[in-house]
Amino acid sequence: MNFKYLYSLILVIALFLIAYAGVEMAGMQFVFGILVPYAAVVIFLWGFISKILCWANSAVPFRIPTTAGQQKSLDWIRQNKIDNPSTTIGVVVRMALEILTFRSLFRNTKMALHKGAKLIYSWEIWLWVGALAFHWAFFTTVTRHLRFFTDPVPFPITLLEKADSFFQVGLPLVFQSGIVLLAALLFLFLRRLLEPQVRYISLAADYFPLFLLIGIALSGILMRYFIKTDVVAAKELAMGLVTFQPCIPETVGSIFYIHLFLVSTLLAYFPFSKLMHFGGVFLSPTRNQANNTRMQRHVNPWNYPVNTHTYEEYEDEFREKMIDAGLPVDKE
Amino acid sequence: MAEDLPKAEEFLANIDYKVPDTAWMDTPAEIRKGMYCYASNPKSVEYLGLPNARKWNPLDDDWQLPENWQEIIHNGFKERLERFRSVKVFMDICVRCGACADKCHFYIGTGDPKNMPVLRAELLRSVYRNDFTKIGKLLGRAAGARKMTLDVLKEWWYYLFQCTECRRCSVFCPYGIDTAEITIMGRELLNLIGLNIDWIATPVANCFRTGNHLGIQPHAFKDMLDFFVEDIEEVTGVELEPSFNRKGADILFITPSGDVFADPGTYTCMGYMMLFHYLKEKYGFDITWSTYASEGGNFGFFTSHETMKRLNAKMYAEAKRLGVKWILGGECGHMWRVIHQYMDTMNGPADFLEEPVSPITGTKFENAKSTKMVHIAEFTADLIKHNKLELDPRRNDHLKVTYHDSCNTARGMGMFDEPRYVINNVVNHFYEMPANTIREQTFCCGSGSGLNAGENMELRMAGGLPRANAVRSVHEKHGVNMLACVCAVDRAALPPLMEYWVPEVDVTGLHELVANALIVPGENERTTDLRGEDLPETEDDADE
């Protein structure tokens, strides 16, 4: 029996309860409102930067892009400048499409053995849809939250908010990003749980961030639409944190501390988890290099001399035979 | 063909994509006959000076490892994490989305979940987490970490030699994680404690000594090409004079020795020879073969980066010794990955050579100006584009041709349209396989990266299934009877694959097709192709 997702779920519920109990029963607003968020941000920044430096410190001995289109060769053959870039501009475009639109995942196919004899590959777009929806909704949500950390709120953020609540009638305004975020997370979770192959490869570390994010989205939605909390006070707390004049306004409800605690957990967990794909994708050698190795020499910083079998050694061994066969030799 | 293979229909019926009930970490690998290659011959390992040469058998409990093998693996891993950013990043960022799972030909053909690229990588990642990450050390299995044990090692060995380093999964991975890179690294680690397979170790030793994988000595190499001269004379009436190890030639030609040795590669080899003869007669083309650098392929690539470099060094060394201007390379897959992405870095700069220019068309091969090595498909496409070849494609009218992109020239180079242009000019009936099975999505022959041995035929037939299935579809739809390719391993591996899955289809190299169509000065009217098979009646004949 596979309990990996259950453990992760229990862990996230426990985090939920810890924050609730800590604030409601133990009155530890100071810990959950100030200490934990600060600690989490420090861990996040330290962890993220050291991971990136750790990767960057490793050498890139060879230029090994995965070439997914026609190379640059003869003038009259049309090069695929994005999937097989030979210039930095091409690489930038390839990377941008990869990072902003998940271009490689867009290609995804599904294989089926039809009637036990014929392999069929069909376009499988749902993973791409789910992944893209989640990431963009998450980005929008995070950006939207900047209004809690800025005063006055910059225009682009106000604009984003307006756009995000575009389809709205009534109050409070419903943000589409929050709903898309939750729906996409549920889809990704169900896919992981229900597809046997994906379930088989999944680790607890794959379920945990999903539940954590679902917890964050749920607590946020609860706070905004159902168990309302004092938004002005919440902003006061947030502004206190970013201006290093932390304070605990009394009217902030425990749901806020739960939300904040889950976000803090995510931040602290981030650098030590697979979530670092966010940083790693920029450093992926099969995507961020130009396919121009025959045009321009790439230098390997640790290229060391090796023991080879020289022509002299070769001729010494085979000279007689070579002469007999009429092959030219260097030493008669 | 191995006798103990089931019938093709039975083989298909037995593929089961159901995952086991036990978690993969609790499902030890069972090393099964037909799915693995024999252990390396100690003589070959010793000749190369690689570690732990001894006789061993993968089926034995005791693999006769050095006492501190765990330490060797750990330290080797650590060193490679520093040397290769690819490995370090790929160890950390996989999210196990599963997009790669059904992209692997071995997974499609075996249904074994450990052949999903993601799990193949997890075999190493789990140990990486245990040895090199804080969270893995802290949480152990809950974080997907596990200790290196003998069972884990055996699992590594079994599955790292069930990957052909074809990179198909890396096309689909949202982070570009390349299983080839992981397999290359894993095999490098295994080599540190003497766990290679003989189909790799012995060709490597041969290549080091004699200049080619097959161990053909210089005089025999010349003999073989002389046989081809006779065969070509029989078909065309024209006598060729290939030249060897000749100093001062303009160009050095290097091709995989498989082309010299075994059908149908030999016909491709004759194709090169006829093309060079044609160009010599018409335009004074000046090219030489080398017996010292008589191997284009590089099984060192399947051993370690260092071994790859040791073998590859001969190309530039020989070009320098002979004083040629540049190098022309024959049809091969992994040979071209090595030349295209590694050679200049490892053994360059080739500042003693000139930037390649076609002496016939004057075309500058800008794309090869640093490495100074041109692919023969690029070279021939340029000749045809400039109308420098007299061709009669009707001589290939008995063929309905499809084209198999070799994994390495596809995903490690991007050579797609050059060979297609050549084919379309020498053949009248060309049909593409389905879009998901060609170009950057091409399927491996199932035998690449040194796995084209005889004893692992079941594995090869499984791995080649997706390719064969795509060939079958164009065979049924268009009557395709010839599978063209630009890879010597393909020419060795695809014939048995076709025989098993689509027996009506034969295999050819690109330049065999070129040579059949090429009207060589002074030739007799051809009645057969290079294989000695009767040519179809041309329209002119039918009129008479």
**Boundary residue ending a domain (B138, B173, B195):** B195
d(CA B204, CA B308): 9
- Considering only CB atoms, A58 lies closest to which of B85, B378, B413, namely B85
Q: Which residues contact B4 (CB under 8 A, 6 or more apart)?
A: B34
- The string of pLDDT tens digits covering residues B352-383 is 999 999 999 999 999 999 999 999 999 999 99
Could you read off the pLDDT of A282-292 as tens digits, one per residue? 999 999 999 99
Q: Choose among B447, B463, B496: nearest CA to B11.
A: B463
Please identify, among B167, B195, B223, the residue that sits at the C-terminal boundary of a domain. Answer: B195
Token pair for B91: 């160890």
Backbone angles phi, psi at B197, to 5 degrees: -110, 155
| Min Cα–Cα distance to chain B from A321, Å | 6
pLDDT reading at B3 higher than 70: no
> Residue A144 has which token pair?
């939207």
Higher pLDDT, B100 or B142: B100
**Region of residue B522 (left: phi > 0; alpha: psi -120 to 50; beta: else):** left
Cross-chain Cβ contact B418/A73 below 8 Å: yes
Instruction: State residue A2's pLDDT score.
Output: 60
**Residues B245, B337 share a domain:** yes
pLDDT in the model for residue A170: 67
Residue found by looking up tokens 């170009």 in the block: B439
Which pLDDT band holds residue A1 (cuts at 50, 70, 90)?
very low
Task: Find the closest chain B residue to A324 by CA distance.
Answer: B219
Residues B238 and B168 in one domain: no
Mean residue pLDDT of chain B comes to 96
Task: Evaluate whether A286 touches B169 at the Cβ level (below 8 Å).
Answer: no
**B311 part of a folded domain:** yes
Do both B137 and B256 map to the same domain?
A: no
pLDDT score recorded for residue B198: 97
Q: pLDDT value at position A169?
A: 63
Residue pLDDT, tens place only, B106-119: 999 999 999 999 99
Please tell me the predicted confidence (pLDDT) of residue B543.
46
The nearest CA of chain B is from the CA of A190 a distance in Å of 12
ipTM of the complex: 0.95
Q: Is the pLDDT of residue A116 over 90?
A: no
Point out the residue among A61, A66, A293 whose CB comes nearest to the CB of B171: A66
Query: B264: which 2 tokens?
Result: 């149908």
Interchain contact, B349 vs A78, CB within 8 Å = no
Residue B1 within a domain: no
Q: Which of A247-256, B236-245, B308-317, B409-418 has the lowest mean pLDDT?
A: A247-256
> B537 to each of A48, B46, B398, B540, how far by Cα in Å?
71, 56, 9, 8
Taking an 8 Å cut-off on Cβ atoms, the answer to whether A64 and B170 are in contact is: no
The neighbour count for residue A106, using CB atoms within 10 Å, is: 18
| Cα of B282 vs its chain's centroid, Å | 33
B80-88 average pLDDT score: 97
Does one domain contain both B98 and B239? no
B362 touches chain A (CB under 8 A): no
Do B212 and B124 share a domain, yes or no? no
B244 assigned to some structural domain: yes
Do the domain assignments include residue B473? Answer: yes
- pLDDT value at A144 more than 60: yes
Those of residues 496-535 in B touching chain A at CB distance below 8 A are: none
pLDDT at B541 over 60: no
Q: Could you give the CA distance from residue A276 to residue A271 in angstroms, rounded to a whole number?
A: 6
Share of chain A above pLDDT 90, in %: 87
Task: Verify that B161 and B231 share a domain, yes or no.
Answer: no
For residue B185, give its domain range: 8-30+51-195
d(CA B260, CA A4): 55
Phi, psi of B206 (to 5 degrees): -60, -45
Q: Quick one: B186 and B208 in the same domain?
A: no
pLDDT tens for each residue of B241-274: 999 999 999 999 999 999 998 999 999 999 999 9
Residues B171 and B281 in one domain: no
B130 and B160 together in one domain: yes
Give the model's confidence band at B544: pLDDT under 50 very low, under 70 low, under 90 confident, else very high.
very low
pLDDT at A3 > cutoff 80: no
Q: How many domains does chain B have?
A: 2
**B474 falls within a domain:** yes
Q: Is pLDDT of A117 > 90?
A: no
* Whether B172 contacts chain A with CB within 8 A: yes
The 8-class DSSP code of residue B471 comes to H
Question: Could you tell me which of B481, B505, B510, B509 has the C-alpha nearest to residue B495?
Answer: B505
pLDDT of A162-204, one tens digit each?
A: 888 877 766 677 889 999 999 999 999 999 999 999 999 999 9
B404 interface with A at CB cutoff 8 Å: no
Together in a domain, B231 and B167: no
Report the distance separating Cα B140 and Cα B161, nearest Å: 27
User: Cα A61 from chain centroid?
Assistant: 25
Identify the pLDDT of residue B537.
Answer: 73
Q: Which residues of A touch B109 (CB under 8 A)?
A: none
Give the residue range(s) of CATH 1.20.950.20 domains in chain A.
Answer: 4-301
Q: How many CB atoms lie within 10 A of CB B65?
A: 18
Q: Which amino acid, one-letter code, is at B464?
A: G
Residues in B closer than 8 angstroms to A202, CB to CB, are: 96
- Which residue bears the tokens 């596809």? B410
Does the beta carbon of B246 lie under 8 angstroms from any beta carbon of chain A?
Answer: yes
Q: What is the pLDDT of residue B319?
A: 98
Distance (Å, rounded) from C-alpha A166 to C-alpha A172? 12
Give the model's pLDDT for residue A228.
Answer: 81
Phi, psi of B44, deg, nearest 5? -65, -45
Confidence of residue B536 (pLDDT cuts 50, 70, 90): confident
Say how far apart CA A219 and CA A229 lie, in whole Å. Answer: 11
Name residue, tokens 């076709």: B498
Please state the length of chain B: 544
Residue B151 maps to a domain: yes
Q: Which of A316, A331, A318 is nearest to B291 (CA)?
A: A318
Q: In this structure, is residue B527 part of a structural domain?
A: no
Query: Looking at B330-408, which runs of residues are DSSP E strands?
Result: 373-375, 401-404
Chain B residue numbers touching A198 (CB-CB < 8 A): 96-98, 101
What's the pLDDT tens digit per position in B480-516?
999 999 999 999 999 999 999 999 999 999 999 999 9
Note whether A105 contacts B171, CB cutoff 8 Å.
no
Q: In terms of residues, how long is chain A?
A: 332
> Which of B351, B465, B442 has the alpha carbon at shortest distance from B8?
B465
Distance CA A186, CA B538 (A): 65
Q: What class is the A4-301 domain?
A: mainly alpha
Q: Are B21 and B160 found together in one domain? A: yes
Under 8 Å CB pairs connecting chains A and B tally to: 314
| Residue given tokens 């080398």 in the structure block | B290
Instruction: Based on the fold, state whether residues B504 and B399 are members of the same structural domain.
Output: yes
Q: What is the 3-state secondary structure (H, E, C) of B183-237?
A: HHHHHHHHHHCCCCEHHHHHHHHHHHHHCCCCCCCHHHHHHHHHHHHHHHHHHHC
In degrees and rounded to multiples of 5, residue A204 shows phi and psi of: -55, -35
Question: Distance between CA A253 and CA A250 in Å, rounded?
Answer: 8
Average pLDDT across chain A, whole number: 94
Q: Is residue B46 part of a domain?
A: no
